[in-house]
Amino acid sequence: MSYSFDRGTHSVYSLRYHLILVVKYRRKVFLDDKIIDELKTRTRKISEGFGIEVISQETDKDHTHILFKATPKTDLVKYINSLKGGTSNAIRHRFPEIKKKLYGNAFWSSSYCLITTGEVTLDQLKKYVESQGEK
């Protein structure tokens, strides 16, 4: 089994996540490339401040998928809340016409989906762990 590890002072790790953020009430706001570019630019800037590397980000009309690398010290809840607030404020400020598509002052849904990802499947990892007892 082979991993691509990141390194800290006293640790090695591989922490990759898949984050899905949905626009409140699934309003279709990501129809303009300029809005999408603003979202991606803000996402990268906010992420850098948390020591997070965005591997990939794409949008559909009403949501975005972000694949990113974090460190063991990353406060994921603080990061996600900062990301939601920062991107929402920037987009609404730069594109005031978007407010017509939103419900009230809300941009993102209050919930989100965060999934850990791995470089191997869960079945592969389970077999590896179970094989450690065999001699």
Q: What is the pLDDT of residue 43?
A: 98
Q: How far is CA 31 from CA 21, 75, 113, in A?
A: 16, 31, 22
* pLDDT, tens digit, 9 for 90 and up, residues 94-118: 999 999 999 888 999 999 999 998 7
- In angstroms, rounded to a whole number, what is the distance separating the alpha carbons of residues 135 and 129? 13
- Asked if the model's pLDDT at residue 92 lies above 60, the reply is yes
Q: What is the pLDDT of residue 104?
A: 84
- Asked if the model's pLDDT at residue 78 lies above 70, the reply is yes
- Asked if the model's pLDDT at residue 70 lies above 60, the reply is yes
Count of other CB atoms within 10 angstroms of residue 96? 9
Domains in the chain with CATH codes: 6-131 (3.30.70.1290)
- Asked if the model's pLDDT at residue 130 lies above 90, the reply is no
- In angstroms, rounded to a whole number, what is the distance separating the alpha carbons of residues 44 and 64? 13
Segment 82-87 shows an average pLDDT of 98
- In angstroms, rounded to a whole number, what is the distance separating the alpha carbons of residues 91 and 5? 35
Per the listing, tokens 């990939």 go with 56
Q: What is the pLDDT of residue 2?
A: 64
Query: pTM for the whole thing?
Result: 0.88
